[in-house]
Chains A and B, each alone.
Chain A
Amino acid sequence: MEFLSRFKNALFLIAVLLAQAIALAVQVRTPADAGAPDGREVRLIRMWTSATVTPFERVAYAIGSGVHFGWQDYIDLRHVRQRNQDLQQQLTRMRIEQAAIAEDALQGRRLQALLAFKEQYVGSTVAAQVIGESGSDTSHVLTIDKGSRNGLRPDMPVITPDGIVGKLRDVFPTTSQVLEIDDLTSGAGVILATTRIRAILRGTLTGRVQIGNLTADSRIKPGEQVLTSGGDQVYPRGLPVGVVQSIAPDPDHQPYTAIAVRPAVDLDRVEEVLVITGTQPNLPPDAQQDLAAAEAQHAADLSAERLPSIHDSDSGVPGQGGTPPGTAAAPNPNAPPVVAVPHPLPAAHPDRFTSGSTPPASDLTPGGPNSPQNGSPPSSPPNPPSSSSPGSGKPKSQPASPQPNAPQ
């Protein structure tokens, strides 16, 4: 008894430390599962604490956002008109870019269908507000104001329009914890957009994001875009992650390199996020409509570029057989649509690059050659290309060969 009373302080400390060490041993996981949600008991403790802290976070967020939006929407309105004009111009530019990309997207989808690729598109999302953080610079966790009552589950990806933020770690009834991609225990499967190299993205202690499982490769340059690969079964394929910032030897893991990635999202200032609650094999209806509209616009642009004679004849130039001035702007609704895509002149010396000499995409195999096996030009002159691809209403594009290292 005397021993206990004499060393009661030290014994108490040892008991407390021992209890916590045992608790740590129960929770500890292998590194592969480091970002996984907690077990039931630990989750309960986190949920109770979260339920205590969250109401204060909600109040603080409401006050802060009220002051912020009041200032931004009613007081600080300088340069709004100029910003609006800039955004209109940006929108116009992006529409043009979208039209240009639409054809590539459709071509890619056709090839994917031929090769039986399974693409996963974002099907449904839940918007959420960030109401808190972990409060530690070694742990990068966000608290959002949506939980299991809103259909959220652990491991669901969290994104913004700019790129990925992280994934859900612990989901409580009304709130959730988001493990950001720059957390030490975080990881994501990524692919480098240009070189198509697959890698694993990890957070670091300093809050940087880096790829550390690649050996030195001269093809990887700063500025290359990094996308999700879909290989981790968490993030859908093709979402922006960031850009390569720097490449340096990794002193801790030779001969690998440490490729620092600048996240596409400013992770320190995330306010609103989208939680992806479901994916689907097809594009959402809205996106399909947008794509169809962009495709039609792009086809019209192509026709306008390739068929100057049609527009010349409609321009009503006197003496050239065109419509008289004043009548060109009044189209006849009963007139059949003009489908006049001229055939290109046959090549004088056809070779394997001549239009129509490449076998159809359905005959191609991944990794195989995209021309006849003997490599010789076709013996007969190529057939003139058809005026439009079936059902698409636009000129048929050149069949492209699938890239051998295309992502699965």
Chain B
Amino acid sequence: MVTRSYMSRREVEQQSFSLTVALLVPLGAILLQVLLPKAMPRLAILDLPLIVTLFFAISRRNPIAGTITGGTIGLLQDVLTSQPIGVNGMAKSLIGYAAASLGSRIDVENTGTRAVLTFGFSLVQSVLLFLIERRLLGIRVFHVLWLHELLRAMVNTVVGVPIYLLLDRFKYQE
């Protein structure tokens, strides 16, 4: 059975979040991203900041807001790593912009669409990180391990879809 979602253009453009949610959810994602691999090292493959970036970008459907959200989350992520500040910032700025642009054109309330978007943008981020590290920073030993990145995209998708459903509860229509 096909589920159809009908939303007016006005409804699409007016979904937003409270300031508390907009601040605490990204911070919580970054904090969990730091803490979870310590308890279980294999969870480092998960990218919670990317999931949160995608959720806010496709929900707000505003490219500028998506760019700011992605850039801020990415920069915070960079600060906690050994990488130069800006690597994840640039990648997630682009992801936020692209996701928000897509969100204003297609129905992203559907779970299947969200899963496809998460999988696709996870791979796009891997390519962006490779280009930034290899071409911009000139780190010759940086490679893309495609199998690993595919696995990362799948894990992000599996974990991301329930998180989207959870975060949907915090959305409100203006």
Residues of A within 8 A of B (CB): 8-10, 12-13, 16-17, 20-21, 23-24, 27-28, 31, 35, 42, 45-46, 49-50, 52-53, 56-57, 60, 64, 130, 132-141, 143, 169, 177, 179, 183-185, 204-206, 252, 268-269
Taking CB as reference atom, which chain B residue is nearest A177? B82
* A9 contacts B34, C-beta separation under 8 Å: no
Distance between A59 CB and nearest chain B CB, rounded to angstroms: 10
Does B21 interact with chain A (Cβ within 8 Å)?
Answer: no
Of A21, A31, A56, the residue contacting B31 (CB under 8 A) is A56
Give the docked Cα–Cα distance between A138 and B148 (Å): 12
* CB within 8 Å of A: which B111-146 residues: 129, 132, 136-143, 145
What's the minimum C-beta distance from B55 to chain A, rounded to whole angstroms? 18
* Chain B residue at minimum C-beta to C-beta distance from A49: B79
Residues in chain A near residue B137, CB distance under 8 A: 24, 28
4 new A-B contacts at CB < 8 Å, known A24-B85, A46-B79: A42-B85, A45-B79, A252-B140, A269-B41
Inter-chain contact A23/B85, CB cutoff 8 Å: yes
Q: Are B86 and A137 in contact (CB under 8 A)?
A: no
User: Which residues of chain B have C-beta atoms less than 8 A from A252's C-beta?
Assistant: 140-141
Question: With A57-B34, A268-B41 in contact, do A16 and B79 touch (Cβ < 8 Å)?
Answer: no
Chain B interface residues (CB < 8 Å from chain A): 27, 30-31, 33-39, 41, 44-45, 63-64, 67-68, 71, 75-77, 79-87, 89-90, 93-94, 97, 101, 129, 132, 136-143, 145, 148
B147 to chain A, nearest CB (A): 11
A/B interface sample: 30 pairs, CB < 8 A: A12-B63, A12-B67, A13-B63, A13-B94, A17-B94, A23-B85, A24-B86, A53-B30, A53-B31, A57-B31, A60-B35, A130-B38, A132-B35, A133-B37, A134-B34, A135-B30, A135-B34, A135-B36, A135-B37, A136-B33, A138-B81, A139-B82, A139-B83, A141-B81, A169-B82, A183-B82, A184-B142, A204-B141, A205-B141, A269-B41
Chain A nearest Cβ from B21, distance in angstroms: 18
Give min CB distance, A39 to chain B, whole Å.
11
> How many contacts between A and B, using CB within 8 angstroms?
136
Are A13's CB and B67's CB within 8 A? yes
Instruction: Determine whether the beta carbon of A205 is less than 8 Å from that of B82.
Output: no
With A53-B80, A56-B31, A137-B44 in contact, do A205 and B37 touch (Cβ < 8 Å)? no
Cβ-defined contact, A64 with B136, below 8 A = no
Most buried by A among B81, B82, B137, B140: B82
Contact B141 A50 (CB under 8 A): no
Q: Output the nearest chain B residue to A269 by Cβ-Cβ distance.
A: B41
* Chain B residues in 8 Å Cβ range of A269: 41
**6 closest cross-chain pairs (CB), A and B:** A139-B81, A135-B33, A137-B44, A268-B41, A9-B63, A49-B79
Specify which chain A residues have a CB less than 8 angstroms from the CB of B94 in the assembled complex.
13, 17
How far apart sit A17 and B67, CA to CA, in the bound complex (Å)?
10
CB-CB < 8 A to A133: which residues of B?
34, 37-38, 44
Residue of A with least CB distance to B80: A134
Q: How far is the CA of A130 from the CA of B41 in the complex (A)?
A: 14
Given A8-B64, A133-B38, A135-B77, A24–B142 Cβ distance below 8 Å?
no
Check B34–A20 contact: CB distance below 8 A.
Answer: no
CA distance A294 to B128 in the complex (A): 59
- Separation of A185 and B129 alpha carbons in the complex (Å): 16
- Contact of B64 with A12 in the complex, beta carbons under 8 Å: yes
Which residue of chain B has the shortest Cβ distance to A23 in the bound complex?
B86
